[in-house]
Structure 1
Amino acid sequence: MAITAVASLMVVLDALVVATALTAIKADLGASVTELEWTVNAYGLSFAVLLMTAAAAGDRWGRRRVFAGGVTVFALASAVCALAPDIGTLVAGRVLQGAGAAFVMPLALALLGAAFPPALRPKALGVFASVSGVAVPLGPLLGGAVVAGISWPWIFWINVPVGVVLVVLALTRIDESHGPDRAIDWPGLVLVGAGSFGVVWGLAQVGTAGWVGVAGPLVAGLVALGAFLGWQRRAAHPMLPLRLFRSRRFSAGNAVIFFHWGSALGVGFFMAQFLQAGLGYGPLAAGLGLVPWGLTTAVVPQLAGRLVGRFGERPFIVAGLGLHGLAMAWIAVVAGPSISYWAIAAPLVLSGTGIALCLPAAQSAVLTSAEPRFIGKASGAFSAMRQLGGAFGVAVLVVGFSLGGSYASREAFAGGFTVAVVVSAALAALGVLAGCFIPRRESKEN
């Protein structure tokens, strides 16, 4: 649990730590707003594209071995990012980082799921989510402290020694395990990779390219994903057995994490910038300002994980995303260039609590609905939906921001931020709707 949770913390941290460093990166490397967006999107792009491939590779060549390989790639890519002399090299390093992360997250969940029986799995996932959740307050704070105290490349250098220790521990302290299907579904790999790439690439172009540049790859990606699902029906060794989707808990849980991470990551992209570009805070002050938002994610998931097994996933998902959505609506009402920080402190705590309530419940819904032999494939699907949701969330919030404002002034930024937060609330509402389809605990359906 310790090894997989710390590895997950490192991966999630790097999805968030860049937020408070964006202003410094923009000034140091002369990056445009579009290029800044790609420091986030590049990570999510390769992450989303390779998740299902990583799960299949773990089943075939060993989950521990592939997990250790992913950590190694992630650490090396972090060094590339730290040494980047220009924005192009930084984006390339982030692509490689995302590729390494793709071979860490689903394998971490699979190794953890295989180590605990279904009855104890929700509690274990609560601890796992709690450790991962530390990234929410630690990411912006660490990013701000490092930028203010040293320089932004050190947000990446930190990963190198941590990665080395994790690889050694993984290879010496975790037992090797494999999935039931040792064969590789090559057509499935190609189709799901192409489909994920097309969808994420199309979403990343929203706000910067014309409709053809957005719709072309997006439609091509959706067609490829449709072909992937069609192929899975007749593949001898499917990457994602469609029988898993017969469970409402599995299907709804994946839909929930799509909207959950879309809302959370999307607003996370703008929140640190709002404190800096909208309210005039420095990087460290912005990081400290976001601590109340994420502090609950280090505590609440453990409590939720203990109670999910008793009350089921649905109450925690509906209540969690409901709280987060209400908090976003609250912030949208009060946001402005002249407000006090304390006007958004309470809704930040409310939002963080809601996000923390939902995550372990969504994980439990997906992983407890899968048979032990399919735990690797289920974790791959869950992680893929999470990353696709994140890319979708950043894209639609960028559109909302562009419609409501710009970076031209603090007033213009506050206007765009308000619209973006409203979009985040709408995504949370869709997550609540999806959560309502999860059966109650007393249901006989898995």
Structure 2
Amino acid sequence: MRYSVRKPIATTGLVVLLGGVMTMLDSTIVNVALTTLARDFHATPATAQQAVTGYLLALSMTVPMTGWAVGRFGARNVWLTSLLLFAAGSALSAAAWSVASLVAFRAAQGLGGGLLMPVGQAMLAQAAGKERMGRAMALITVPGMLVPVLGPPLGGVIVESLGWRWLFLVNVPVCAVALLAALLLLPADGGGGGAAQQPLDVLGLALLSPGLAALVYGLSEVGNGASPLHPALWAGLALVAAFAVRALWAPGALVDLRLFGDRTFAAAVGAMVCYSAAMLGFTVLVPLYSQLARGGTPLEAGLLLAPLGIGAAVTLPVAGRLTDSRGARGVAAGGVALVAAGIAAFAAFPGPGPILVVGLGHGLVSTSVLAAAYATLEHAAIPAATTLSTISLRLASSFGVAVLAVLLQLAGAAGAARPYTYAFGCAVALAAVSLVPIALLGSRAWKRSSSAPA
């Protein structure tokens, strides 16, 4: 599969955003409706929570198939199929008659949604080419961060005005527009040549998909107060470790870990992992702080994060052009410094000003590091690299949220006067650690030691 680098990246970016926004939104929009769902279905809130958990686990289980599916069937075909499955799952979720049926339909929704963002990111990277990678990644950075954050306040408005079924029905017309746009704007493709003949790594899928789901579930349970010895967490670690050992020697592995032999890609993913753990943890802490420590509403918590998007929107256009012209290292390092300063300032003086500073930094970091991840890879390696980076970021986000939540609980149990300060301090430290792999981006000595497969 090959997209012309002369094809406008804005066209592909529009298609990706139309299809991906609802997927990202649905990861959090249902959270505010759990009490309503429990009441309507005569269930407990914990049982209703399965509707959220089932969706997130299905998202995680689908991602490992991205590279193989794109190579076998072509990005456009996988994109259209995923959109149809997501739309069907949304419509069925709106018609659910019990918690069990809602969980099943949300899982179908997640199976479709799990492929949309990694496939969309791969299409955008291939359409851009190396010389425009920074501007291409700028198109999807802010929605990827802000849409899940804005889900709870938007969900509250929909539930109060239209009812919980519209949380899912609203996806259907958006998916219809996204399908039409994809049919009209995306070039036809028929798979990736040799990859099209490669059979699915069934054993690898049996290890990695449930392993990822168990890891995400275990981390979420630890973040909710469960013991770090939670069996799901350790079962997930064992399965993922078994997959990694096998993937290093088995030909045709589901996810090609040898891509980490490209040192620029490895450094970029390492930076994204540390940074995402800090940033996603911070965006979860801020609403908690607003509602639990200050007595705010979900809408107020969402509005408190609004300056994040404003700040990122200011720096994104600059970040894309600077990354393309001068490289990612300086842009990313400057962004991390702003993010760390903003988080530290928010811990001391909570308010929209520090959040704006975090947003300014975020626009610089996410665009430059994401572009650097693809800068040295061959065109055909992009789908596999997208799969690998998406898995890494999903685990990093869950890890960051869990670590900060546990630290918050420990500080509260110890009777700390300001428990949130310790958690915000941990977020600053995680962001600062990302400076180590960022320093390697563009290093000639580091790049010369690459050993990724062609």
TM-score (norm 1): 0.84
Question: Could you tell me how far apart the structure 1 residues matched to 2:417 and 2:78 are?
Answer: 44
Question: Are the structure 2 counterparts of residues 274 and 17 from structure 1 closer, same or farther at C-alpha, using a change threshold of 3 Å?
Answer: farther
State the partner residue of 1:269: 284
Structure 1 residue 262, shift from structure 2 partner: 2.3
What is the CA deviation profile of residues 378-400 of structure 1, one whole-angstrom value per residue up to 9, with x for unaligned ones? 11111111111121122222212
In the alignment, is the contact (CA less than 8 A) between 1:321 and 1:358 conserved in 2?
yes
Question: Could you tell me how far apart the structure 2 residues matched to 1:261 and 1:37 are?
Answer: 24
State the partner residue of 2:38: 29
State the partner residue of 2:195: 181
Counterpart residue type for residue 188 of structure 2: E
* Greater Cα shift, 75-84 or 45-54: 75-84
Q: Does 2:332 match 1:344?
A: no
State the partner residue of 1:393: 400
Question: Are the structure 2 counterparts of residues 246 and 274 from structure 1 closer, same or farther at C-alpha, using a change threshold of 3 Å?
Answer: same
Question: Are the structure 2 counterparts of residues 414 and 87 from structure 1 closer, same or farther at C-alpha, using a change threshold of 3 Å?
Answer: farther
Q: Does 2:377 match 1:370?
A: yes
Q: Does 2:386 match 1:379?
A: yes
* Greater Cα shift, 164-173 or 306-315: 164-173
Q: Does 2:335 match 1:320?
A: yes
Question: Are the structure 2 counterparts of residues 143 and 295 from structure 1 closer, same or farther at C-alpha, using a change threshold of 3 Å?
Answer: farther
Question: Are the structure 2 counterparts of residues 146 and 432 from structure 1 closer, same or farther at C-alpha, using a change threshold of 3 Å?
Answer: farther
Structure 1 residue 108, shift from structure 2 partner: 0.4
Q: Does 2:114 match 1:107?
A: no
For 1:103, what is the secondary structure of its paired residue? helix
Question: Could you tell me how far apart the structure 2 residues matched to 1:209 and 1:107 are?
Answer: 34
State the partner residue of 1:195: 211
Counterpart residue type for residue 368 of structure 2: A
State the partner residue of 1:424: 427
Residues 23-422 of structure 1 correspond to what in structure 2 (within 5 A)?
25-26=34-35, 29=38, 41-83=53-95, 92-130=104-142, 132=144, 135=147, 138-139=150-151, 142-147=154-159, 149-177=161-189, 178-179=191-192, 180-182=194-196, 183=198, 184-206=200-222, 207-212=224-229, 214=230, 216-334=231-349, 343-405=350-412, 415-422=418-425
What is the CA deviation profile of residues 87-142 of structure 1, one whole-angstrom value per residue up to 9, with x for unaligned ones? 66655554443322211011101112222221122222222324545626754553
Question: Could you tell me how far apart the structure 1 residues matched to 2:425 and 2:365 are?
Answer: 20
* Greater Cα shift, 131-140 or 313-322: 131-140
In the alignment, is the contact (CA less than 8 A) between 2:18 and 2:175 conserved in 1?
no
In the alignment, is the contact (CA less than 8 A) between 2:38 and 2:44 conserved in 1?
no
In the alignment, is the contact (CA less than 8 A) between 1:308 and 1:361 conserved in 2?
yes
Counterpart residue type for residue 123 of structure 1: R
Question: Could you tell me how far apart the structure 2 residues matched to 1:311 and 1:203 are?
Answer: 38
Question: Are the structure 2 counterparts of residues 191 and 136 from structure 1 closer, same or farther at C-alpha, using a change threshold of 3 Å?
Answer: closer
Counterpart residue type for residue 429 of structure 1: A
Question: Are the structure 2 counterparts of residues 6 and 221 from structure 1 closer, same or farther at C-alpha, using a change threshold of 3 Å?
Answer: same
What is the CA deviation profile of residues 361-413 of structure 1, one whole-angstrom value per residue up to 9, with x for unaligned ones? 2221222232111111011111111111121122222212322349xxxxx99
Question: Could you tell me how far apart the structure 2 residues matched to 1:136 and 1:307 are?
Answer: 27
Structure 1 residue 16, shift from structure 2 partner: 4.6
Counterpart residue type for residue 373 of structure 1: A
For 2:188, what is the secondary structure of its paired residue? coil
Structure 1 residue 308, shift from structure 2 partner: 0.6
Counterpart residue type for residue 372 of structure 2: A
Question: Sequence identity of aligned pairs in percent?
Answer: 29
Question: Could you tell me how far apart the structure 1 residues matched to 2:288 and 2:101 are?
Answer: 23
Q: How many residues align?
A: 428
In the alignment, is the contact (CA less than 8 A) between 1:16 and 1:268 conserved in 2?
no
Question: Are the structure 2 counterparts of residues 220 and 134 from structure 1 closer, same or farther at C-alpha, using a change threshold of 3 Å?
Answer: closer
* Greater Cα shift, 420-429 or 359-368: 420-429
Counterpart residue type for residue 185 of structure 1: D
Gaps of 5+ in 2: 1-11
From 17, 20, 30, the equivalent of 1:8 is 20
Structure 1 residue 60, shift from structure 2 partner: 1.0
Question: Are the structure 2 counterparts of residues 98 and 397 from structure 1 closer, same or farther at C-alpha, using a change threshold of 3 Å?
Answer: farther
In the alignment, is the contact (CA less than 8 A) between 2:316 and 2:363 conserved in 1?
yes
Question: Are the structure 2 counterparts of residues 17 and 32 from structure 1 closer, same or farther at C-alpha, using a change threshold of 3 Å?
Answer: same
In the alignment, is the contact (CA less than 8 A) between 1:136 and 1:295 conserved in 2?
no
Structure 1 residue 58, shift from structure 2 partner: 1.8
Counterpart residue type for residue 48 of structure 1: S
Question: Are the structure 2 counterparts of residues 346 and 112 from structure 1 closer, same or farther at C-alpha, using a change threshold of 3 Å?
Answer: same
For 2:195, what is the secondary structure of its paired residue? coil
For the aligned residue pairs, the C-alpha RMSD in angstroms reads 3.2
